Amino acid sequence: MLLLLEALSAHAQQWRHGYDLMKETGLLSGTLYPLLMRMTEQGLVEAEWREPEQLGRPARHVYRLTNAGLALALAQASAGSGAAASGKAALA
């Protein structure tokens, strides 16, 4: 879930297609889409259908973080950077 939070938070207000998220995170569809569904149910991600840009193509879901999702992503990022800084201090 952290990879997905990081990918979505990089462009928090931008709607993203699942395929683009798969390419960016390296997650397979069997992992990505259940995560997106669960995060949507938890109020971390919002999803909506978009009409196709080209005639004859199917409608697609797009996803972006909610305010709660962005807050969680920022908290995880700061917790991760704090842990990394502690690890570096312990090595010094």
**By percentage, how much of the chain surpasses pLDDT 70?**
87
pTM: 0.80
Give the confidence band of 86 by pLDDT, cuts at 50, 70, 90.
Answer: very low
**By percentage, how much of the chain surpasses pLDDT 90?**
67
Query: What distance lies between CA 1 and its chain's CA centroid?
Result: 8
Q: Is 74 exposed, middle or buried (0-12, 13-18, 19+ CB in 10 A)?
A: middle
> pLDDT digits over 35-78, tens only?
999 999 999 999 999 988 888 888 899 999 999 999 999 999 88
Distance CA 41, CA 71 (A): 16
Determine the pLDDT at residue 5. 93
Distance CA 37, CA 88 (A): 36
